[in-house]
Amino acid sequence: MAFEKGREKTGGRAKGTPNKTTTDLKDWVFRLLQRNLKQIEKDLQELDAKERLILFEKLLRYVLPRQASITADMALGFDEKEVEQFRAWQRTNARYEAMTDEELQAEIERMQAITSNL
């Protein structure tokens, strides 16, 4: 039977009921860490400073809330069309900067010919 919008839910877990496998796994990992805290701390001290910082940075992802990504475009209030126009200009500018003087002169002449016909 196809899904019908507004149809009452039947079967499965009740809304909000945690997945038993996930809960069991989290409990097991917690107990494992609790039983091995002293060894873990010893192992951490044996890492060099750079490795320890890398590990801490990775662990912080699970403790601190993730920050929403925001671009400067959004912060300054530009709409999508304006942002795309700017990015197109950047691509064009990069293309021109990569050209030799001769290629650039040829492009200028081509553009002049196009605009003179308008």
For residues 74-92, average pLDDT? 78
Report the distance separating Cα 103 and Cα 112, nearest Å. Answer: 14
For residues 35 and 45, what is the distance between their CA atoms, to the nearest angstrom?
18
Helices (H) and strands (E) in the chain, counts: 6, 0
**Number of domains composing the chain:** 2
* 80 and 72 Cβ atoms separated by less than 8 Å: no
Q: Is residue 68 part of a domain?
A: no
Task: Indicate the pLDDT class of residue 68, thresholds 50, 70 and 90.
Answer: low
In a domain, 87, yes or no: yes
Residues 79, 56: one domain? no
CB 55 within 8 A of CB 44: yes
Give domain status of residue 11, yes or no: no
| Amino acid identity for residue 101 in this structure | D
Residue 41 lies in a domain: yes
Give residue 30's domain range: 20-60
Is residue 56 assigned to a domain? yes
Residues 83 and 56 in one domain: no
Shared-domain flag, residues 77 and 112:
yes
Tell me, yes or no, whether 66 lies in a domain.
no
Same domain, 47 and 81: no
Contact 104, 96 (CB under 8 A): yes
Q: What is the mean pLDDT of residues 81-98?
A: 83
Question: Which of the four pLDDT bands, split at 50, 70 and 90, describes residue 67?
Answer: low
